[in-house]
């Protein structure tokens, strides 16, 4: 089993309760709760590899540890599993986590590896100015962005369940958006939902939007994300942000139906 911990000033702490752990030491919960209707109660929590996205974030300080569990147990779902006994065995390198996650992707039905280690568009190094092709992607994105959140949320929830969808979104949100300025937060929020849609290739029909089956209607936003570009819109002017400081690398306006940019 595996457990997510955060390292703070040399101490290993659970990310939610700040309970401190020491490698190699055995822990026994004296008041272990055997009630399966309580998903958060007394006990030591650990998961298999597909449960990591509930608490793991690709941020400094987060570590994954292989653990040994035993004694009484309550296993509610892939995210909520608690045990009477636990012992930390070893820290698992990120490279190993990625291999383990990739091996599970066909079974879980989504890109678990990328959900754990999402692409951060603001850390992609760009060279050269924004291209005409990228502005065209922005135009296409402008025509669908209003429906992205509800569509992705409802479609993913129907496909793999609400808890999986929420956990994947939280991973992308926390791992990527920690570096985003407040001024572009809402726009990155929309783009983040588009990116989340790309992690679920098994979804072929998205709710609340007309599109050919098997075609991701939010792919234009995904493509901008992978090119290191995050759009923002103030009601009149569109902007494209790039780099760790989310600097504006292009701005202009255009008709949603097409036509040239009005610089």
| pLDDT tens-digit readout, 151-175 | 999 999 999 999 999 999 999 888 7
What is the rounded distance in angstroms from the CA atom of residue 196 to the CA atom of residue 157?
12
Reported as a pLDDT band with limits 50, 70 and 90, residue 21 is very high
Whether residue 7 sits in one domain with residue 38: yes
CB neighbour list of residue 206: distance below 8 Å, 6 or more residues apart:
151, 152, 155, 197, 216, 217, 218
Instruction: Give the residue from 67, 98, 129 where a domain finishes.
Output: 98
Tokens of 1: 């089993």
For 249-261, what is the mean pLDDT? 67
What is the rounded distance in angstroms from the CA atom of residue 154 to the CA atom of residue 163?
12
Q: How confident is the model over 122-149, as pLDDT tens digits?
A: 899 999 999 999 999 999 999 999 899 9
Reported as a pLDDT band with limits 50, 70 and 90, residue 11 is very high
Domain hosting residue 247, numbered range: 118-262
Assess if residue 27 is contained within a domain. Answer: yes
Assess if residue 103 is contained within a domain. Answer: no
Whether residue 63 sits in one domain with residue 155: no
Q: How far is CA 106 from CA 8, 59, 112, 171, in A?
A: 35, 26, 9, 20
At 244, phi and psi to the nearest 5?
A: -65, -20
Assess if residue 198 is contained within a domain. Answer: yes
Query: What does pLDDT average to over the chain?
Result: 91
Return the pLDDT at 182.
61
Return the pLDDT at 185.
67
Whether residue 164 sits in one domain with residue 128: yes
Assess if residue 127 is contained within a domain. Answer: yes
For 39-67, what is the mean pLDDT? 95
Instruction: Give the residue from 47, 68, 98 where a domain finishes.
Output: 98
Whether residue 92 sits in one domain with residue 124: no
Predicted model pTM: 0.90
Whether residue 82 sits in one domain with residue 10: yes
Assess if residue 210 is contained within a domain. Answer: yes
Assess if residue 211 is contained within a domain. Answer: yes
Return the pLDDT at 26.
98
- DSSP state, residue 158: H
Residue 52, class by beta-carbon neighbours within 10 Å (0-12 exposed, 13-18 middle, 19+ buried)? buried
Return the pLDDT at 190.
85
Instruction: State how many domains the chain has.
Output: 2
Assess if residue 111 is contained within a domain. Answer: no
What is the rounded distance in angstroms from the CA atom of residue 146 to the CA atom of residue 187?
11
Assess if residue 112 is contained within a domain. Answer: no
Return the pLDDT at 246.
83
Instruction: Give the residue from 37, 67, 98 where a domain finishes.
Output: 98
């Amino acid at each position: 089993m595996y457990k997510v911990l955060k390292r703070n000033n040399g101490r290993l702490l659970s990310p939610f309760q700040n309970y401190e752990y020491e490698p190699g030491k055995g822990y026994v919960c004296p008041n272990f709760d055997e009630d399966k209707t309580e998903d958060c109660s007394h006990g030591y929590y650990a998961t298999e590899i597909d449960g990591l996205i509930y608490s793991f974030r690709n941020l400094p300080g987060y570590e994954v540890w292989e653990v040994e569990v035993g004694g009484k147990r309550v296993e509610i779902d892939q995210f909520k599993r608690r045990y009477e006994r636990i012992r930390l065995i070893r820290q698992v390198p990120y490279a190993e986590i990625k291999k383990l996650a990739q091996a599970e992707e066909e079974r879980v039905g989504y890109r678990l590896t990328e959900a754990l280690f999402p692409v951060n568009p603001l850390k992609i190094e760009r060279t050269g100015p924004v291209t005409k092709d990228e502005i065209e992607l922005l135009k296409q994105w402008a025509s669908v962005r209003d429906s992205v959140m509800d569509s992705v949320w409802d479609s993913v929830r129907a496909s793999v369940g609400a808890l999986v969808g929420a956990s994947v979104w939280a991973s992308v949100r926390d791992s990527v958006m920690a570096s985003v300025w407040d001024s572009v937060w809402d726009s990155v929020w929309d783009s983040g939902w588009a990116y989340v849609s790309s992690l679920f290739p098994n979804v072929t029909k998205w709710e609340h939007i007309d599109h050919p089956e098997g075609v991701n209607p939010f792919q234009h936003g995904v493509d901008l994300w992978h090119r290191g570009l995050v759009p923002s819109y103030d009601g009149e002017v569109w902007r494209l942000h790039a780099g760790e400081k989310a600097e504006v690398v292009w701005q202009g306006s255009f008709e949603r139906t097409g036509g040239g940019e009005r610089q």
